[in-house]
Amino acid sequence: MRKAARDFFRKGDMLLLALCLCASVMGLFLIYSATRCEHTDRYVVVQAVGILIGVVCYVVLTLVDVEHLTAQTWWGMVIFNILIFLALIPFGRWVGGNRNWIALPGLPVNIQPNEIVKLFFVVVMAYQCTKLRERELLSHPIGVGSLLFHTLFFAGLNVVISRDYGMSLVYIFIFLIMAWCAGVKWWWFVIGLGAVAGGGAMVWGHLPDRIRDRVLVIFLRNDPQGIGWQQDHSVMAIGSGGLTGQGYLQGYQTQQGAIPAQSTDEIFAVCGEELGMVGCAVVLLLLTAIILRCFWVGRRAASPMTALVAMGYGGMFLCQTLVNIAMCLYVFPVVGLTLPFFSYGGTSIITLFMAAGMVSGVKARDLPSWLQDRNGA
């Protein structure tokens, strides 16, 4: 036990842990403000417990050799991802049009399977890219096709079972980041862009009305049915905060509970109203630092696979950050993505710390200094 603790403090990424803790503690204060109108401390308690569990997971995963583990159990990870998605069919709960949560007896919180699936999806994708690269099939149609099948299978399974288009978007973004970092040739991305444009035009008419309306309102800003009411409140809250905000626990809309999903999807709007541009800048700086740290660790990783693991999780954080803030600013449709480390969610905060812990584990096994010098690192 002492040796494990010593190894963690000596080799683990303490800077990344400090950044994640700063972000999650600030998020805890924002969640308290956002849920104060409900006269309950449940959200804050659940989030705080989630942070504590997440830190423990961070420490444990720092000490795990993810490359060795994946080589032995990658099939198990794939099967687990499929089974936990399928568990939503009999046991899932519908909330806000999505079947994302499983309520387990005796637990005060619900489990969100697609958050857990992201963890293993990144690791298995990194393993798959590495094996294809070793066989010189990474940019071959067979290799690109297998990566695309892996991605679209889980993204599609998520849409069919959960109706969660936002999380499927994260899976696709992770695939793009990892494929690019792995070395897939650029022309495949050009072909993919054309395929997306053509495919999007073909399926547009078959999308649910609520999805099409959320997209159209962004561009037309003609909203007689109130499709964009969530984003209207968000933009008003952020705008009313000005430079320094209306004051912590003093935001007019926040304290009235007038911002939809203000402890989850729209937590950035709470920050904007109460802490102003200064508070929003702090949020952005913390998240940017976390993302760049993941990419930095990936750049110094000891092997191609662990490099892709760090890049994949950095891409995951980046996608959720960009989409969530764009939603709050009314420049992207509402797709139900939370802001990493700031939004409320027990499963979410634990899996975020687990992802960061795997990045820390990559850093703990980075290249020795003499080899970094040879590689020009």
The domain spans of the chain are 21-366
Question: What is the pLDDT confidence band of residue 376, given thresholds at 50, 70 and 90?
Answer: very low
**Closest C-alpha to 316, from 333, 341, 281:** 341
pLDDT value at 64 more than 80 = yes
**Across the beta sheet with 98-103, what order do the strands follow?**
92-95, 98-103, 110-111
Say whether pLDDT at 377 is over 50.
no
SS3 (DSSP) at 225: coil
Residue with tokens 């110094």: 300
What pLDDT shows up at residue 226? 62
pLDDT, residue 125, reads 97
CA distances from 213 to 172, 179, 219, 243 (A): 22, 32, 10, 33
- Which value, to the nearest 10 degrees, does the dihedral of the CA atoms of residues 145, 311, 358, 32 take? -110
H/E run at residue 133: helix 113-134
Overall average pLDDT of the 339-362 stretch? 95
pLDDT of residue 224: 52
pTM of the model: 0.92
Q: Check pLDDT > 50 for residue 12.
A: yes
Q: What is the pLDDT, as a whole number, of residue 368?
A: 52
Which pLDDT belongs to residue 293? 97
Averaged pLDDT of the chain = 89
Whole-number Cα distances in Å, 147 to 52, 123, 177, 264, 315 = 35, 13, 12, 32, 16
**Across residues 206-219, what is the average pLDDT?**
76
Highest-confidence segment of 7-11, 50-54, 226-230? 50-54
What per-residue string of b and e applies to 141-163 under the rule 16 or more CB within 10 Å gives b? eebbebbbebbeebbebbeebbb
Tens of pLDDT along 86-130? 999 988 888 777 888 888 776 667 888 989 999 999 999 999 999
69 burial type by CB count under 10 A (0-12 exposed, 13-18 middle, 19+ buried)? middle
User: Given pLDDT bands bounded at 50, 70 and 90, which one contains residue 222?
Assistant: low
Q: Which residue has better confidence, 230 or 375?
A: 230
Q: What DSSP designation does 64 have?
A: S
pLDDT band at 348 (very low <50, low <70, confident <90, very high): very high
Better pLDDT: 172 or 369: 172
Residue 63's φ and ψ, nearest 5 degrees, are: -90, 0
> Nearest-CA neighbor of 318 among 339, 298, 296, 297?
339
pLDDT of residue 97: 75
| Residue whose C-alpha is closest to residue 62's, from 118, 6, 117 | 6
pLDDT at 230 > cutoff 90: no
Q: What band does 375 get if pLDDT is binned at 50, 70 and 90? A: very low
SS3 368: coil
Confidence of residue 211 (pLDDT cuts 50, 70, 90): confident
Q: What is the pLDDT, as a whole number, of residue 373?
A: 44
| Residue 88 token pair | 């939503």
- Helix, strand, or coil here: 210? helix
Q: Which of 57-66, 81-90, 117-126, 223-232 is predicted least confidently?
A: 223-232
Share of the chain above pLDDT 90, in %: 69
Token pair for residue 223? 């909203």
Q: Residue 183 region, left (φ>0) first, then alpha (ψ -120 to 50), else beta? A: left
Residue type, 54: G
What is the predicted pLDDT for the residue at 223?
61
Segment 267-318, tens digit of pLDDT: 999 999 999 999 999 999 999 999 999 999 999 998 999 999 999 999 999 9
Q: What is the pLDDT of residues 123-176, one digit of tens each?
A: 999 999 999 999 999 999 999 999 999 999 999 999 999 988 889 999 999 999
